Structure 1
């Protein structure tokens, strides 16, 4: 029996909007806006061909009550005619405003506001046609004492057919607008501060995650600026086609940069390969929605952007929870931030479809959730920096501990040597010979160790330290003899692609192969070093610009014609080379050689790679 009573109460609540349907709305002064939804009747025109005269001749049975506080019909291209009556019970003329809270309605016509004058507005009509210069659709009207007037509205849009209407007195509308502008100013000001803050960190740290996050904030701000009607009012009041496509476009761009940000800051590249493939697929879908925004109908692009947001939100939550399970500390904050944004976006999307009633909360839910999410993400980025600093501090402490242990071992070794010397005086000669032999082996080992420290462990070539030492000596010798000296800077083209496609073992084999091919063409008095990564450098004695270019071309052609073979793979390699030769004078130094050869290498890369380019001061703007 109690269950039956509860069910009857629920049924009664569901029927209340219909049973309580009023015939007209009395305009009584109030601090809260009046909602005309309960007195609105609607007639759907699927073809959109009816005019006001045929609509006024419709029978009463054709009109259906809206029976809810907002007139929302989801995503439909039908034309909807809305009819309701307003009554002025006061003894004086009252001036009121009908505010349409959906700035993205394509077309809205209002009849009965001002005699036979028809109000025509919408975001697919020039902004200057509006009666009131406002980001939303503002319909002013006056009622004489005791007057009852019928208003008829025609609404048609490719987006959410949501009227979201409210009635306010002129004074109430002024106060409402002041509050809204204050809140919107605070909202966009907070977004601007977040954007500048993260861009500044990116400039300082060069961490791309801050760049993606800054672009995400910028695109999301742009999206909100469009959704709230500010863009049409202030940026492009006459560019109606651009205004329509800019909404799904900004949403897709924000999603794209959100994917890049999530991928980087959650360090998904270190996880299973499926993480990377899924993120790439989502980025491809974002690009597809961007293309749809320009080429496809507005409804298709809009629904596509909504679906993309939902799918990306699901995967973002999944990745965050998985990284949280793996012990990645910043994932906890990301889970909280994504939850806030997803719940807010869900409210916004559901209100657009008409599933839940549109209100001031649903209209601004996404703004509230996004602010919360942006603050949480900024804290998470800071936490990520703190973790990196903590890891660096631990590494330094471990280094200090190893150094202390080594000193203790050295002290023990010295004590032991002293005890042996004091306790075995009778065997001094034998121990002296043994010690000399040990010292000779130690000297040999030290020379071998010194030689190893000068060599690159992977390719066997000299390393950059040797280049720094030997280049000064070779430059000084060339100054004394007034003989030319040439510098080659060489870089394997697209080497990161080799590592990404085949793995680092194949990449190491390619580096060894390239080093061997280059070493075979070097003279005994030339210096070939591994400069770093996939870069190599060579210093050529007694070689002018022509000879250096000739050798560089031989190196490039030889490597191109001899691919690297590894197991059953054949990897094609190519080389970009920058060449600089000079007869040194007093002002010549090591930095000049390296800088000019590197500038020539940069030109070789810019020219399409697999090129040999000699340094030319005029081409580089060098004096």
Structure 2
């Protein structure tokens, strides 16, 4: 037994030596991780001379293809023995897959020359102008060489190294630049596309999504090493802090987008409170990234991402269960990005091996998410375009009818000019009849232009014209005048839940219910969308409020029945009445009534509020 122990002690130095890694030129990268040995330096004060004198037993095999040691501030020394078995010299590149390493020193690449690089060292110190750490070296025919690498970082101590010939590296770089160009090009297209829709529709969800994609693009630009190469090659402190800052910034706009797309504002107030807490946490992480300890900001950004993933999954599931249609596509697209992001974060801890898949997991997930959201947004645009085509077809039909009438008139005039006296009176009568029909058609078109095609009510143009006349008459007679601004509550939910055809039927139903209670000299118009306006002559504030309550109760108590569906509706109404003075104008009436309407919405909807001017404080 004693002899066996002595034999093992004699063999320990031999077993401690790393196996020599033979290098042969090929298109496939070589992963040197399993051939490496590592020694951890907790204080980070050892130099190359003391490391070379370490006993063989101090070195431990890496046994991982990515040489990952999780989040640790230790300095890690890696030893690698290389051999060129071929008869010709070969130029090699040792490519470090983690561009966020703070410092990386390499010994043995080029004689006594030391490679010193990392994202906490000026970019110009790198031997190769590359976003990642690329270490070039040459091996002569039959040469053996020992390399020592020292890495230390406040982030993930993940080397993810690969060896490839210079020619294979060039081919690899061309493919990667093409893929990265396509990726960032797709993100840029999505930013421009959604910003354009926001400018046209003023829907803030498109703005939040554009800002999310922009901040996520910045995050990826930093993570992949492009930012240090092209944006701030000498701003090392900011570069280190920009990683958790951009992550929290993307999370901030992602929360706003989620809150809007899932329509959480109209649901239980707990949704909004949780979103506000997450937004506050995002701002706190951004503040820590700018002025606090880097490690705290980094851990905070990961914790924030995990919290958003959990609550996002809960919110989406609950809204899906509520029958909210956008929740299905949102759940599918958003889960792709969140799962990929969590996959990338976990790989940084060393729990799973780092690879090209983990390095680009967020890019893959974000592209899948972009495709799914683009389909949803495209369907929405398609519905709008279809409605526009129907309206254009109606205009073209009217124009065609007018051209036919004009052609008939020209034909009659040509026959009259032919000198056929026997038929002069007959053709003259026909011409007069045609002109009369054309005049009536023009009058009908003019009258149609004053009405809303869907509800049959007067449109906003008539409101502007008639309100001026009614206001002038009220000023002359010194009689009160009232304006009602009415809005169907949560009408977007009706369209989302039942479709636009049912929504149109609900608008027609509400318009008819309100029209039945109007007096002959009152004016009821469709103001736009689900908004209506009414002008009441000789009506005081109390009278206007009474009528508004009748309208509100009537609409609430008579659901819209359409194709076996009973759709309940409710009205929020703003009232403004006064005896107009000489300086009172139309805009003032509409503006004050609109303020009262917004007060009704803010106070819970399905109610009537009147505008009361603020009284000046007594001196």
TM-score (norm 2): 0.67
RMSD of aligned alpha carbons: 4.0
Look up the SS of the partner of 1:312 in the other structure. Answer: helix
CA contact (8 A) 1:76 1:161 kept: yes
Number of equivalences: 457
CA contact (8 A) 2:574 2:597 kept: no
CA contact (8 A) 1:269 1:275 kept: yes
CA positional deviation for 1:172 = 0.2
- Provide the rounded CA distance (Å) in 1 between the counterparts of 2:148 and 2:364: 34
Q: Compared with structure 1, are the counterparts of its residues 159 and 488 closer, same or farther at alpha carbon in structure 2 (3 Å cutoff)? A: same
Look up the SS of the partner of 1:135 in the other structure. Answer: coil
| Structure 2 residue 289 is the aligned partner of structure 1 residue 280 | no
**Which residue in 2 is equivalent to 1:101?**
97
**Which residue in 2 is equivalent to 1:503?**
603
CA positional deviation for 1:505 = 7.8
CA positional deviation for 1:382 = 4.4
Q: 1:397 aligns with which of 505, 520, 532?
A: 505
- Provide the rounded CA distance (Å) in 2 between the counterparts of 1:459 and 1:233: 72
**Which residue in 2 is equivalent to 1:607?**
none
| Structure 2 residue 221 is the aligned partner of structure 1 residue 225 | yes
Look up the SS of the partner of 1:68 in the other structure. Answer: coil
CA contact (8 A) 1:344 1:369 kept: yes
- CA-to-aligned-CA distance 1:271-328 (integer Å, 9 cap, x gap): 1111011000000000100101011111111111011011101111111111110001
- CA-to-aligned-CA distance 1:114-172 (integer Å, 9 cap, x gap): 00000000000000000000000000000111111000000000001000000000000
Q: Compared with structure 1, are the counterparts of its residues 347 and 485 closer, same or farther at alpha carbon in structure 2 (3 Å cutoff)? A: closer
**Which residue in 1 is equivalent to 2:617?**
557
- Provide the rounded CA distance (Å) in 1 between the counterparts of 2:543 and 2:79: 83
- Provide the rounded CA distance (Å) in 1 between the counterparts of 2:248 and 2:226: 19
| Structure 2 residue 293 is the aligned partner of structure 1 residue 297 | yes
- Provide the rounded CA distance (Å) in 2 between the counterparts of 1:499 and 1:243: 49
- CA-to-aligned-CA distance 1:542-591 (integer Å, 9 cap, x gap): xxxxxxxxxxxxx4336xx9xxxxxxxxxxxxxxxxxxxxxxxxxxxxxx
Q: Compared with structure 1, are the counterparts of its residues 327 and 21 closer, same or farther at alpha carbon in structure 2 (3 Å cutoff)? A: farther
Q: 2:310 aligns with which of 296, 299, 314?
A: 314
Q: What pairs with 1:583-622 in structure 2 (closer than 5 Å)?
A: none
CA positional deviation for 1:29 = 1.5
CA positional deviation for 1:485 = 9.9
- Provide the rounded CA distance (Å) in 2 between the counterparts of 1:487 and 1:273: 35
Q: What pairs with 1:61-140 in structure 2 (closer than 5 Å)?
A: 61-140=57-136
CA contact (8 A) 1:330 1:383 kept: no
CA positional deviation for 1:238 = 0.3
- CA-to-aligned-CA distance 1:370-400 (integer Å, 9 cap, x gap): 1111222233344566585874442323455
**Which residue in 1 is equivalent to 2:32?**
36
- Provide the rounded CA distance (Å) in 2 between the counterparts of 1:458 and 1:324: 44
TM-score (norm 1): 0.66
| Structure 2 residue 188 is the aligned partner of structure 1 residue 192 | yes
| Structure 2 residue 161 is the aligned partner of structure 1 residue 165 | yes
Q: Compared with structure 1, are the counterparts of its residues 458 and 187 closer, same or farther at alpha carbon in structure 2 (3 Å cutoff)? A: farther
CA contact (8 A) 1:191 1:221 kept: yes
**Which residue in 2 is equivalent to 1:353?**
349
- CA-to-aligned-CA distance 1:181-232 (integer Å, 9 cap, x gap): 0000000000000000000000000000000000000000000000000000
**Which residue in 1 is equivalent to 2:243?**
247
Q: Compared with structure 1, are the counterparts of its residues 362 and 78 closer, same or farther at alpha carbon in structure 2 (3 Å cutoff)? A: same
CA contact (8 A) 2:574 2:600 kept: no
- Provide the rounded CA distance (Å) in 2 between the counterparts of 1:496 and 1:160: 55
Structure 1 portions without partners, runs of 5+: 1-18, 411-441, 476-483, 519-554, 562-623
- Provide the rounded CA distance (Å) in 1 between the counterparts of 2:160 and 2:586: 76
CA contact (8 A) 1:98 1:139 kept: yes
Q: Compared with structure 1, are the counterparts of its residues 221 and 151 closer, same or farther at alpha carbon in structure 2 (3 Å cutoff)? A: same
- CA-to-aligned-CA distance 1:89-131 (integer Å, 9 cap, x gap): 0111111000001000000000000000000000000000000
CA positional deviation for 1:507 = 9.8
CA contact (8 A) 1:160 1:352 kept: yes
**Which residue in 2 is equivalent to 1:453?**
536
CA positional deviation for 1:330 = 1.0
**Which residue in 2 is equivalent to 1:610?**
none
- CA-to-aligned-CA distance 1:20-61 (integer Å, 9 cap, x gap): 996111001222100001110000001101111111111101
| Structure 2 residue 252 is the aligned partner of structure 1 residue 256 | yes
Q: Compared with structure 1, are the counterparts of its residues 504 and 334 closer, same or farther at alpha carbon in structure 2 (3 Å cutoff)? A: closer
**Which residue in 2 is equivalent to 1:148?**
144
- Provide the rounded CA distance (Å) in 2 between the counterparts of 1:278 and 1:348: 25
Look up the SS of the partner of 1:557 in the other structure. Answer: coil
- Provide the rounded CA distance (Å) in 1 between the counterparts of 2:349 and 2:575: 69
- Provide the rounded CA distance (Å) in 2 between the counterparts of 1:406 and 1:70: 72
